[in-house]
Every structure is written in C-alpha cells, then in structure tokens.
Structure 1
Amino acid sequence: MPISFTPISYEDDWSGSSWTIDDEDNLSSLIAHIALGQSRSVEKILKETGSNFPNTLGSAITGARGLLTRKSAEDPYHRDGWLFQIISWIAARKQNTEAIIRAPHMNHAHKGLDGLIVEMSDNKVDYVVICEEKATENPRKKIIEQVWPEFEQFENGERDHELVEIVTSLIDRHNPEYCDEIIEKVLWDQQRAFRISVTGSSQHQTDKAKKALFKGYATTISGDPGKRRAEILIIDNLRDWMEKISQAALQKLDVEIQNV
C-alpha cells in the first residue's frame, strides 16, 4: 500500500498521524483511477478485497487528464490542492476501512467541505468527522487563517444544514433501511469531530514543531480529545513533488488509453 502512518499527539490537545509515502508508483496509479471516476474501485482495493480496476471508459480520460494538469506554470495551487485531498482520502480509507467516507471531489474549484467521514458501530453514529485538507508551504498560516474559522463555523452550528444533508445522503447510500432512525439519534453537538490534514516540511519533524503547528486546536474545538485529529504529510519541495506525482499519474492514463 502507498502510505504508512506514525502516531503523533500532544497531551490531551489532539492526536493523529504523520504520513510516509512508501510507494509513489502505487499512489500515482490510485490517483489516476480516482481521476477517472473510479473511487469506488479504489476503495475496494484499499480494503484489500482482491478487487481489480474496471475497464476504463475512453471518454473519461480527457477529463481525468484535466484534473491532473495544472492550468498554468505559475498556478499549481488548485491542482495540488485537489491532489492532496485525494491523498488525504486514500489515507483516511487506509486508517479506517469500515467508516463511511464521502467520495473525492471531481472538481478543482469545489467549494465547501474538503471531506467528511462517518464512523459508525451497531447502527449508530459514533463520530461525524469534518475534514479540512490543505496542501501548503505555510501550514501554520493556513491553519490559523482558514482551518480554525471553518471548524468554528461547524462547532457553533452555523453549517448544520450542510452537515445534515451530507451525512444523510451518505448513510442513505450505505444503510437505507435504517437511515431515518440513525439520523434522528445523532447528537450533532456531541458527535462531531474534526480532522486537519496539512503538508509540512522537514522543519516539522520534531514533536515540538508539531505542537506549535497545531497550537490552539483545543481552544478552537473544546471537549473530548477524540474530536481533534491532526494529520501531516512531510514533503520538502512540495510543488516539485506534486508535479512529479501528477506526471506519474498522467503516465498511468497513457497506459489506460492503450488498453481502451
């Protein structure tokens, strides 16, 4: 599998993991197939069910190439942001094979939640995990200026209508018979949790650096430490690495073209 995880935490403030990319070739293949609209098949493969990728629809390749290509040499940010959301989705699926996880967005310019995870047991919701996923060379600045304000909106109930709609549609897809009953029993103010995923550099390797990076998490989101999850992918030369991964994924699409 392409990603492995090392646990990280700070007292009762937050916990999560640091990611290591173990197999870039495998990762680029998964990204290419997600770009083709095959996230369901990727999900089965990540669950190690023995599944294979389906035949590729030839007309899907053009759109997939568009997702993997930055629009200009000066502006890789939207493409890289989408790529990181895909990597974060892959990580989340590997970390929890049983959770219900919203499929990746298929649009660089998507507005709204970066991701959402519903953790369930015995036909009840344990946590609704609200995800913010940022590919950035300035993770602390991004967390303070964008992530904390987003999380506070959800924590204060300002976007409950959005949350309820997404969670309902996810549960209805996986457990339609009991969907209404499950939703009625969700304690929205108690069962929501939050997951930050950011890119960092080698300067964030130490525990001290990670503590500083996620400083303020417990004051932004109060309550049980299980509500505060923190994930980091440490990559130096972020833009160059993202370009390398996207080019590798594009090469995977070239192989798919030959097989159509």
Structure 2
Amino acid sequence: MPITFNQALTAECEFSEWTISNKSRAKLIEVIAYLYLRQEENAQRVIDALEPRRRVSKGRVAESVVRKLTAPRAEDVELLQSGTATERKAASKRIKTSIIHRDGLLFQYISWVAARLELPNGYMTSPHVRQADKGFDGFIIELDKSVREIKRIVLCEDKASKSPRNLITSSVWPEIETLRRGDRDDEILAELVTLLKSVPGIDAEEAVDEIFWEGAREFRVAVATGENRRRAGSFLHIIAGFKTVAGGELEARMAGVLAFKDVRTGLDLLAREVAAKVEEIANV
C-alpha cells in the first residue's frame, strides 16, 4: 500500500501514524496526480493495481493543476530579491500564504488516499479543487449490507502545519463543536444527498430520512507535521481533547498523523513529484 498505518491505543480516538512507503511512493504520486486531474476512477484503478484508462486531459486542466502544485510563484521570488521594501514585504507574505495553501490542498489529497485505504467500502466526496476552500475537508458515508441505509457519516478535517496543536485547538475543535451543535446541518445534508445520488439503487432522500442523525455522525482528523512535534515517541498530544470535543463512542473518533522530517520540505518535494507526473500523464 502507498500509505501504511501504525495503530496506537488511546482513549481519545482510533489513532494511527501514517507513513509513506518508499517502495510504494511512486504509486502514491500517480494516484494523487490522477486525483488532481479529476480522474478519480483512474486513481482508484492505480490503488487496485489495475491499468489506468487513457483519458485526454481537457482544456488547460493539467496546466492549472501544475500551477496549484507550484509554490511560491517565480515572480514573487524575484520581487523578494530585487523589489522595493514595500514589494518585498508583500511578496514575502504572498510566498508564505501560497506555500500554506499548496500544502493544505496537497495533504487533503493524501488524506483522501488514506481514507480510501482505511475505509475501502465507503463512498467519499472528491478532494477539493480550490485551495483554501471553506467547510469540512471531506465527507465519507458507509451503508449497511443492504446498501439501502446509512450506517455512518464521517466528517473529515485535514491540516498540514508546522504547529499543529495550535491549529487543532484554535480551528478544528471549534469546527467540530459547531457541527455537533447542528449549526451546519444544512451543509451536511446537501453534501450527503449529492453523494448518495451517486450510489446505484438507493433512494437518497428516503435514506436520509431514516438516519439517526446524531448517532450516525463521526469525525476524522488528519494532520501532516514535522518529526520535531513528536513527544515521548508519539504524536498523541496533538489530538488531546478529541474525546471531550466530539463525544460519542471510541470508534466514532478517528485521527491520523503523517510526519515528515520537515513538513514544508517534505510536502514541497511531493508536490514537485506530483506535478511532474501530471505533466507526464497529460502528454502521453
């Protein structure tokens, strides 16, 4: 598998540390490249060790994808080196923001692959197209054996950060509290119905009507960070408080951490490799 999972026992959640296998790194890069090109079926075929189907890239999709994977912009780097004081300050801010947005979107794609491996029978929303999209980062449903009723709804939050604990407590926990209060039930319902309509043979609205809403909702938090955030041999401290914030049974709370030696350097290298693969696929 392109991502391996090392489970850890904790009362907070079902926790795992993710590792990108060196042996399967090329496979992960290919899966992510197809996802960026909006070829989800081909991404799944690569995961399943099947040959991707040839599809012609439409318009300037590949060019747009490579642009999203490239940070910082060359013009900002040039301004940082040779611009006026005002231009350098503005360029520095744009460079920082562009890297954060690039890394955040890329990690959402990595997290999608991890979710597909961990929950192979789930129906999932596609990864975001736009950087810095608002709202929850992913949505997974699992159906019962009859494929007619909803067993669980998993709401996903994905974060890539050099200081993940601060981001978790200031952003993710408040977001989950908002979801538990029901403040965004209309958004969840809209996503749910749209996703269910892609499932053959199910009456989407009837399935939604039959849900025990509060009991079906679960949460999954995924974090990409640096090895320097490891404490006492683990990253469990990053998601401390998950149980208190999300409530529910243990299996209703999932979390995973993907660690790089340096998170920005690691994601930058991966982005470059994915961009190269996108261009290769588009030019075949």
Task: Specify if TM > 0.5.
Answer: yes
SS in structure 2 opposite 1:17? strand
Q: Does 1:57 align with 2:82?
A: no
Computed over aligned residues only, the root mean square deviation of the Cα atoms, in angstroms, reads 1.9
Q: Percent identity?
A: 27
Is 1:90 equivalent to 2:139 in the alignment? Answer: no
Q: What's the secondary structure of 2:273's corresponding residue?
A: helix
Q: Which amino acid aligns with 2:9?
A: S
Which amino acid is the alignment partner of residue 8 of structure 2? I
Question: One-letter code of the match for 2:38?
Answer: G
Residue 127 of structure 2: aligned partner? 104
The AA in structure 1 aligned to 2:160 is A
Matched, 1:16 2:6: no
Contact 1:45–1:51, Cα closer than 8 Å, also in 2: yes
Aligned counterpart, 2:88: none
C-alpha contact 2:231 2:237 (8 A) present in aligned 1: no
SS at match of 1:57: coil
- Which letter maps to 2:26? D
> Are the equivalent residues in 2 in contact too, given 1:153–1:159 (CA < 8 A)?
yes
Q: Deviations over 1:187-225 (max 9, x none)?
A: 111110000000233245567743322111111111211
Output the amino acid matched with 1:149: P
* Counterparts in 2 of 1:71 and 1:202: CA distance versus 1, 3 Å: closer
Q: How far has the Cα of 1:68 moved from its partner?
A: 1.3
Selected match of 2:265 from 214, 236, 240: 240
Using the TM superposition, give the Cα deviation of residue 173 of structure 1 relative to its aligned residue in structure 2, in angstroms.
1.1
The answer (yes or no) to whether the contact 2:35–2:43 under 8 Å persists in 1 is yes
Contact 1:148 1:220 (8 Å CA) reproduced: yes
Instruction: Please list, as runs of the form range in 1=range in 2, the aligned pairs for 1:1-260 lying within 5 A after superposition.
Output: 1-11=1-11, 13-22=12-21, 23-46=24-47, 48=48, 50-57=50-57, 59=59, 60-72=61-73, 74-75=95-96, 76-122=99-145, 123-175=148-200, 177-205=202-230, 209-259=234-284
Provide TM-score, normalisation by structure 1. Answer: 0.92
Structure number with greater Rg is 2
The alpha-carbon deviation at position 120 of structure 1 amounts to 1.5
Please, which moves more after superposition, 62-71 or 183-192? 62-71
Q: Deviations over 1:143-170 (max 9, x none)?
A: 0000001101111111100001101110
State the number of aligned residues: 257
- Residue 50 of structure 1 deviates from its aligned partner by 2.5
CA offset at residue 254 of structure 1? 3.0
Query: Does structure 2 retain, via aligned residues, the 8 Å contact 1:128–1:191?
Result: yes
Determine the C-alpha separation between the residues in 2 that align with 1:50 and 1:44.
5
Contact map agreement 1:203 1:209 (CA 8 A) in 2: no
Q: CA deviation at 1:45?
A: 3.0
Kept after mapping to 1: 8 A contact 2:229/2:235: yes
The answer to whether the Cα contact below 8 Å between 2:193 and 2:208 also exists between their aligned partners in 1 is yes
Is the CA contact (8 Å cut-off) linking 2:30 and 2:43 kept in structure 1?
no
Residue 17 of structure 2 aligns with an amino acid whose one-letter code is S
Secondary structure of the corresponding residue to residue 156 of structure 2: strand
Return the alpha-carbon distance in structure 2 between the equivalents of residues 64 and 211 of structure 1: 34
Distance in 2 of aligned mates of 1:105 and 1:212: 28
Is residue 39–residue 104 contact of structure 1 (8 Å, CA) maintained in 2? no
Compared with structure 1, are the counterparts of its residues 111 and 155 closer, same or farther at alpha carbon in structure 2 (3 Å cutoff)?
A: same
SS of the aligned residue for 2:120 comes to: coil
1:250 Cα deviation after fit: 1.7
Alignment gaps of 5+ in structure 2:
78-94
Contact 1:102 1:115 in 2 (8 A): yes
1: CA distance between counterparts of 2:132 and 2:233? 34
Once the two structures are overlaid, the 10-residue window that deviates more, 242-251 or 76-85, is: 242-251
Q: CA deviation at 1:181?
A: 2.0
Give 2:92's aligned residue. none
